[in-house]
Chains A and B, each alone.
Chain A
Amino acid sequence: MTDDEKIIGYIENGIVIDHIPQGRVWQIVELLHLNDPMRYEGGIFSLGDGYESRKVGKKGILKVEGVSLRKNDIDLVALVAKEATISEIENGRIKQKYDAEIPEVLDGVVNCPNLNCITNDETQRVMSKIYSGDDLFMCHYCRSEFGEDKIKFLGGK
């Protein structure tokens, strides 16, 4: 058992998201909707922030138990924490460990920054669809290209 596990608790089955830059743990909780009781009834998440890390300076850790997250959803973590590592835990052991990678297609996650885009017309209720490229993101509908700095998550965060 590592120090981190001692601090925020051992889990039997679930995922551990490590190396989250300090201050961004809650952003990930919200991005994955872990605090939405309707979606993740019965799930438990525990988090800690401010640990020393050689990789990212100070870091946060998030542990999620009792909910099943799809790989595509977990990968969204990379949008706010590129350096994050994901460990899948099964029966108390690490089953798989990988780096979060931004999914190629983001459906209904990120807003298109073009205010005249059909996806920003609330009356139309068209879900955003954004492609992630090497340096830029691109809206499927209006083809606006934009950098990381313009990312706005749906719901305005």
Chain B
Amino acid sequence: MSHHIEFAGLKKVFGTGPDAVQAFGPVDLSIAEGEFISLLGPSGCGKSTLMMMTSGLLEATEGTVTIGGSQVKGPQTDIGVMFQDNTLVPWRTVRGNVELQLEMRGKSLKEFSDKIDNLLASVHLEDFADRHPYELSGGMQQRAAFCQAMVHDPKTMLLDEPLGKLDAMTRERIRSDLQRLWMQERATVIFVTHSIEEAVQLSTKVAVITPRPGTIERIIEIDLPFPRDFDVKNSPEFAAYVREIQEIFRGYGVI
């Protein structure tokens, strides 16, 4: 597999002089095409910052990001980004919000009509397509934002805590939906989460990040069969991965 996304000496410092905050890096990392990599790290270690730099929405202080062989210098429009805070607009319905992504890109709504239906159904929002965001719970809004982020068929996806606001049960269900979608499309995914189990269940690789300024402590390849259903999750191998990561965090003193 080719190296699809590459970070080389990537580093971000906010501000200058004595007030400067070193938020992230330096980090070197290569992500292969079709990989599902989770970033796991304590709050404030720079995960969102890394996402912003990858999508070209934030300039790196040092180092480079390369996607598909070309260096990131400005906003990357052929990827899908799901931001940590939701980007639904209050004047459009759920469907309208998903369509906004297409309209902003000048794509034909007709062509994507089925795709929107399928996406909404896959996150169980089909009955709420014509509702406005304020009529939805926080978790439902997040599911709608998820559809908005990936409706345009991006081959690379950056998901910043997409399941953060969901209750444990919905979260479980959306995880399997996400896994199914990923297995179908085989997009390259960078996924931020605070849940160790979620990372182990979904990912081909888990990158464990140190507290701020975040650097990569270790990359753990998760060698378990897909789909990682109930049985896989209850296997001793799965538990061993979770334990391994927990040990690292215990070393940081964050758990």
Instruction: State whether these chains interact.
Output: no
B residues near A (Cβ < 8 Å) are none
